[in-house]
Chains A and B, each alone.
Chain A
């Protein structure tokens, strides 16, 4: 019994992590066709701002929101200056954002040093069926679901969402219909960065702070986005579920390392079998 609950808990935990880590990246990839290699650094921005705010006395929730906002603003600034030249050039954008990532991580290393004391994980743990499970991580699961629901509302029910989806389908057409495409791009990139910052802030209490910390998220985020495909609403959730199961299973049998390897191998298989990710599979099924 404990084993089952433990396993389900693990799957849920990984699912939450994948969704939160990948949501921002998926939106940017789906909208602008670029691969943001600086995604891990946006996460780090969120984590750092959250931690410093908390240590300055702010309540954790506020700290997390600040972290998310900071990352979002930083993202918009970056988009306006650099990223906008690379739309729909996935390889060039990959290389360019890689450069940005290098500058950010190494710059942070220079400024902040290699580590900083983190925040402790709040809420403690709950005992179930003889095992002890962190409540905070269950809260994160709830937040992950809320994020997905929130994204659904934004993209389906708001004017921005309509503009965004139009731009995603056909930017030239949208522009000629009066959609402020440049602002949509900037806002979307900012949203993607803010979500990354949110993930950083949310997980900051569970990790040590370091300028390289984005790296712990990046593999999972990329794998989820590639497997999910361009649509964060249709593709990311099923991809996250499938990958969470794979990772949890591999981890419980063989350990953390094989968990990560399992993901990496899974992405290769998905790319081979479902070239458009789960997005393609789901949309094809509905025709």
Chain B
């Protein structure tokens, strides 16, 4: 346990003490028992929320830790979603290999990310131009798929269906004792929860490792990192591919849950959503991103019942206020101030043998 803690804690993430991890554990337990108290429908809905978190965490890695603003998350979302659809429709159902379809969908998203990432990063495209290029490519993909409505647009038995979207995609299932276990409702919820825990912990380990150190160094001063002997492009490409594949995971899960995927998931305004979630919560910290994404999604869903316009206006206003006052993200701002507060308290509480407290450099 101690070893695991030393791996997931580190300079790149807030929340390392006992309080934090106890709270996290409690939340996990609550999440495990949650389905007992609510309807299957609600459970499915909550799982649907959680599906988007992978995309947000991926963007946090690419943008918050890697310093590259990628507008491409929804492109990989769509790529994996459509790949899952195509593979599952053609092969999945009969051979009970929908999970293989999921994995292959991730591979497809990863390959696309490798291609785009290589083009950009080794082409020395930096800063805001990464955003522009990824946005352009995302819109290109969305525009292209949008006009594939005709029956000639098909891969095997799967029709792309243009702006209407691909339908009748088999859900995730595995062979079970008496036929098949379909991952819907509660089963899907537990699957997503498990994936979320693994992803979160895995990313924490990654960003707090030597890889993570170099990645944030590249974000801070790429020139200096290079002059320390690091091949910065390799690190950037790795972060980009991992983060984009996570977006693919969101896409594949979304498609498997709803049995549907459409180009609207890739185009504006969908393409802007990950940026908004991550910007509001805080891109520099994984926990802030995760919590922030869930919060904004929940707020958005609550408001969209009233009116889609109000919901989007709220989001726009939230974005503006966040960038104006806490450009690093609202939750990160809270965490930073909390950390400063606890450090000051610790400083004041260190007593000399004479009993008088004295300010000292905070030991950790």
A–B direct touch, CB within 8 Å, in complex?
yes
Q: How far apart sit A215 and B142, CA to CA, in the bound complex (Å)?
A: 15
Judge whether B320 and A82 touch: CB under 8 Å. Answer: yes
- In this complex, how many residues of chain B approach chain A with their Cβ under 8 Å: the count is 40
| Residues of A contacting B307 in the complex (Cβ-Cβ under 8 angstroms) | 110
Q: Kindly state whether residue B299 has any CB partner on chain A within 8 Å.
A: no
Against B, the Cβ 8 Å flags (1 = close, 0 = not) of A100-119 are 11110111011000000000
B-binding segment of A89-97, A121-129, A150-158, A278-286: A89-97
Q: Kindly state whether residue A80 has any CB partner on chain B within 8 Å.
A: no
Minimum CB–CB distance for A231 against chain B, Å: 17
* Given A100-B320, A103-B320, A109-B309, A219-B139 contact (CB < 8 Å): yes
| Residues of A contacting B317 in the complex (Cβ-Cβ under 8 angstroms) | 99, 103
Q: Kindly state whether residue B222 has any CB partner on chain A within 8 Å.
A: no
Q: Kindly state whether residue A159 has any CB partner on chain B within 8 Å.
A: no
| Residues of A contacting B320 in the complex (Cβ-Cβ under 8 angstroms) | 82, 96, 99-100, 103
Q: Kindly state whether residue A265 has any CB partner on chain B within 8 Å.
A: yes
Minimum CB–CB distance for B210 against chain A, Å: 27
Please indicate which of the listed interface residues A35, A100, A223, A271 has the most CB atoms of chain B within 10 Å of its own CB. A271
| Residues of B contacting A102 in the complex (Cβ-Cβ under 8 angstroms) | 269, 312-313, 315-316, 319
Chain B binding surface SS class? helix
* Residue of chain A at shortest CB distance from B67: A91
Q: Kindly state whether residue B55 has any CB partner on chain A within 8 Å.
A: no
* Residue of chain B at shortest CB distance from A97: B320
Minimum CB–CB distance for A271 against chain B, Å: 5
* Given A95-B279, A96-B320, A103-B313 contact (CB < 8 Å): yes
A-binding segment of B11-19, B23-31, B81-89, B121-129: B121-129
* Residue of chain B at shortest CB distance from A29: B128
Minimum CB–CB distance for A26 against chain B, Å: 14
Minimum CB–CB distance for A239 against chain B, Å: 14
Judge whether A265 and B319 touch: CB under 8 Å. Answer: no
Please indicate which of the listed interface residues A85, A102, A103, A272 has the most CB atoms of chain B within 10 Å of its own CB. A102
Q: Kindly state whether residue B275 has any CB partner on chain A within 8 Å.
A: yes
Q: Which residue of the partner chain, among A85, A106, A215, A264, contacts B136 with CB atoms under 8 Å?
A: A264
* Given A222-B132, A267-B132, A271-B133, A257-B316 contact (CB < 8 Å): no
Q: Kindly state whether residue B146 has any CB partner on chain A within 8 Å.
A: yes
Judge whether A267 and B133 touch: CB under 8 Å. Answer: yes
* Given A106-B309, A267-B136, A271-B133, A100-B125 contact (CB < 8 Å): no
Contacts of B31-70 to chain A: CB distance below 8 A: 69
Judge whether B119 and A91 touch: CB under 8 Å. Answer: no
| Residues of B contacting A257 in the complex (Cβ-Cβ under 8 angstroms) | 143-144, 146-147
Judge whether B69 and A91 touch: CB under 8 Å. Answer: yes
Q: How far apart sit A105 and B311, CA to CA, in the bound complex (Å)?
A: 12
Q: Which residue of the partner chain, among B129, B268, B312, B313, contacts A271 with CB atoms under 8 Å?
A: B129
* Residue of chain B at shortest CB distance from A273: B123
Q: How far apart sit A35 and B275, CA to CA, in the bound complex (Å)?
A: 15
Judge whether B144 and A96 touch: CB under 8 Å. Answer: no
Q: Kindly state whether residue B131 has any CB partner on chain A within 8 Å.
A: yes
Q: Kindly state whether residue A136 has any CB partner on chain B within 8 Å.
A: no
* Given A90-B127, A95-B279, A222-B132, A106-B137 contact (CB < 8 Å): no
Judge whether A95 and B319 touch: CB under 8 Å. Answer: yes
| Residues of B contacting A106 in the complex (Cβ-Cβ under 8 angstroms) | 308-310, 312-313, 316
Q: Kindly state whether residue A179 has any CB partner on chain B within 8 Å.
A: no
| Residues of B contacting A98 in the complex (Cβ-Cβ under 8 angstroms) | 272, 275-276, 316, 319
* Given A82-B324, A99-B319, A257-B143, A268-B137 contact (CB < 8 Å): yes
* Given A106-B313, A264-B140, A271-B319 contact (CB < 8 Å): no
Q: Kindly state whether residue A226 has any CB partner on chain B within 8 Å.
A: yes
Judge whether A96 and B319 touch: CB under 8 Å. Answer: yes
Q: Kindly state whether residue B10 has any CB partner on chain A within 8 Å.
A: no
Q: Which residues does A use to contact B, with CB under 8 Å? A: 35, 82, 85-86, 90-92, 94-96, 98-103, 105-107, 109-110, 215, 219, 222-223, 226, 257, 260-261, 264-265, 267-268, 271-272, 275
A-B CB contact pairs (8 Å), 5 listed: A90-B127, A95-B323, A99-B316, A103-B317, A271-B129
Given contacts A86-B323, A265-B136, 13 further A-B contacts (CB under 8 A): A91-B69, A92-B323, A92-B327, A95-B279, A96-B319, A96-B320, A102-B316, A102-B319, A103-B313, A105-B312, A109-B309, A264-B136, A275-B124
